[in-house]
Structure 1
Amino acid sequence: MINELSGITPEAEQSIQKARKRIIESIGKNMDLYGITLSTGLLYGLMFFQNKPMTLDEMGEAMEMSKTSMSTGIRTLLDLNMVNKVWEKGSRKDQYEVERDWHQTFTDFFAIKWRKAVEMNLQALRKSQTELRTLADEHPGEELLQSYIGLDMEKIDQAIGYYLWLDRLIDTLESGEIFSLVPKKPQ
């Protein structure tokens, strides 16, 4: 970890670093919820405790990993809006800092992931629905086939209903309306 602690006793610094390390490890282990590798989660945890933006070189040095590994991790975190690229006057290297608003990070992440899932699944469901309707229209007198198609259509309708509900949930995340339903701080 980059040492920015100065002016305190070595014992106090050691205690702070121990507390930070515990949190960083916990963050790293729990990032699988977001589909993020342990090393990228540890990188996020490291950056969380920095009081200034970091370059890829600084990250690599602090984590004892290659610049390439840091670049891959940062790209993942950027794509999920968990870190931001920042500009610093006089610096030619890209610098990054974590998004400090974890509520926003949560809503961005799940909105991005769920929106992709909703679009992909609705497309598949609607295509299958159209194909089954066509099949049913082509074979009106085949009761067994109509029965199978009917059962599948009921399941498809239920799944479409779920994804339309999920789409509305995503809208509440993206609009921030979710925080009027579930406030950031307890009342």
Structure 2
Amino acid sequence: MSKHEGRDEWATYEEIMDKFIQVIAKNMSLYGIAPSVGRLYGTLYFSETPMTLDDMRDALAMSKTSMSTGVRALSEIKMVEPAFRKGVRKDLYKSEEDWYKSFTSLFGNRWRHHTETNIEEAEEAIHELKLIADKTEDQELLDKIELDIDHLRYAQDYYRWLMRFIQVVESGEIFKYVPRHDRT
């Protein structure tokens, strides 16, 4: 095999891996993670060794500040963790390789916040509608408020159910119902 053929194969390999890292980034964007942070996670995941911020900057052609911000965001959702390598003084990072664990952490973190907010917003809307109902004598408005409060209570019931579902996911109990598909 000539050197030229080897370069073509490496270039093809890199294209394939870059394409899949973009898939990872796209999936993570479903959970509110910026595509650049998703690409950072994908790069760390496929790296054979932990990486420094400089390594990440070189691999992704992004600023060191962006890498630092991305690593911090991924650390908060437990998808990246510090690593140690003897003789290396710079901070090293590696990806969490258990995607099931990453999903439960990311899903729980994102959904819990939004769901709690939705419950609070519905309660606030109910409170404000009741204030209007106490002041008005307009029967049509009173009927509409009563109907809307019923809808808001239904929404709250759903969000409370969703909170229980989130707890099932976060606790790992979900795997009793939908088992992990680990390679054997």
Work out the CA distance in 2 between the residues paired with 1:131 and 1:18.
55
Q: Give the superposed CA RMSD.
A: 2.4
Residue equivalent to 1:123: 120
Residue equivalent to 2:155: 159
Residue equivalent to 1:179: 175
Do the aligned partners of 2:31 and 2:110 also contact (CA within 8 Å) in 1? no
1:134 is displaced (CA, Å) by 4.2
Inter-CA distance 143–23: structure 2 relative to 1 (3 Å threshold):
same
2:20 to 20, 23, 27: 23
Alignment of 1:47-126 (within 5 A): 47-126=44-123
Aligned AA (2:22):
E
Aligned AA (1:102):
W
Structure 2 alignment gaps of length 5 or more: none
| Greater mean alpha carbon deviation, residues 124-133 or residues 148-157 | 124-133
Work out the CA distance in 2 between the residues paired with 1:27 and 1:117.
23
Residue equivalent to 1:3: none
Q: Percent identity?
A: 42
SS in structure 2 of the partner of residue 24 of structure 1 = helix
TM superposition score normalised by structure 2: 0.83
Work out the CA distance in 2 between the residues paired with 1:173 and 1:85.
25
TM superposition score normalised by structure 1: 0.82
Work out the CA distance in 2 between the residues paired with 1:137 and 1:28.
50
Aligned AA (1:178):
I
1:110 is displaced (CA, Å) by 1.1
Deviations 1:113-141 (A, max 9, x none): 111111111112112223333443455x6
Work out the CA distance in 2 between the residues paired with 1:48 and 1:163.
34
Aligned length: 177
Work out the CA distance in 2 between the residues paired with 1:29 and 1:110.
15
Do the aligned partners of 2:81 and 2:93 also contact (CA within 8 Å) in 1? yes
Work out the CA distance in 2 between the residues paired with 1:43 and 1:175.
27
SS in structure 1 of the partner of residue 78 of structure 2 = coil
Inter-CA distance 142–65: structure 2 relative to 1 (3 Å threshold):
closer
| Greater mean alpha carbon deviation, residues 32-41 or residues 111-120 | 32-41
Work out the CA distance in 2 between the residues paired with 1:17 and 1:63.
13
